[in-house]
Amino acid sequence: AQSVTQPDIHITVSEGASLELRCNYSYGATPYLFWYVQSPGQGLQLLLKYFSGDTLVQGIKGFEAEFKRSQSSFNLRKPSVHWSDAAEYFCAVGAKGGSEKLVFGKGTKLTVNP
């Protein structure tokens, strides 16, 4: 079964600074990989996803993520954080050839200081 680890529970950055959120997965092959964002009191919104091909994936709101097979990682990055990026970020994996089920990491809460 697939699993996902987000090592950082809480990250604080200053507005305008760069951001990297870490995600490591465990799965026998390359799974489907996703990053979702959840603002307080809201549902989740997909930022980007990786299935295959180019290992650098562009998403919405200026986010990108890089898939590294050798490290079983799918880290999320943004070059310049805005105050509105403060939210909870979830990495999720889905099994190829499996069901509709996604397994979510425990999340990283991002705080942005002015």
Partner 1 sequence: DTEVTQTPKHLVMGMTNKKSLKCEQHMGHRAMYWYKQKAKKPPELMFVYSYEKLSINESVPSRFSPECPNSSLLNLHLHALQPEDSALYLCASSQGGGGTAANEQFFGPGTRLTVL
Among 17, 46, 56, 60, binds partner 1 (CB under 8 A): 46
* Partners of 90 in the β-ladder: 36
Nearest residue to 63 via CA among 92, 40, 34: 34
The yes or no reply on residue 100 touching partner 1 (CB under 8 A) is yes
11 forms part of the interface with partner 1 (CB under 8 A): no
DSSP 55: S
Residue 108 pairs with which residues in a beta bridge? 89
**Which of 14, 51, 55, 68 is the binder for partner 1 (CB under 8 A)?**
51
**Binding of residue 106 to partner 1 (CB under 8 A):** yes
105 binds partner 1 (CB under 8 A): yes
In the bound complex, what is the minimum distance in angstroms from residue 108's beta carbon to partner 1?
A: 11
Kindly list the distances between the CA atom of residue 1 and the CA atoms of 22, 31, 68, in Å, as whole numbers in the listed order. Answer: 20, 11, 20
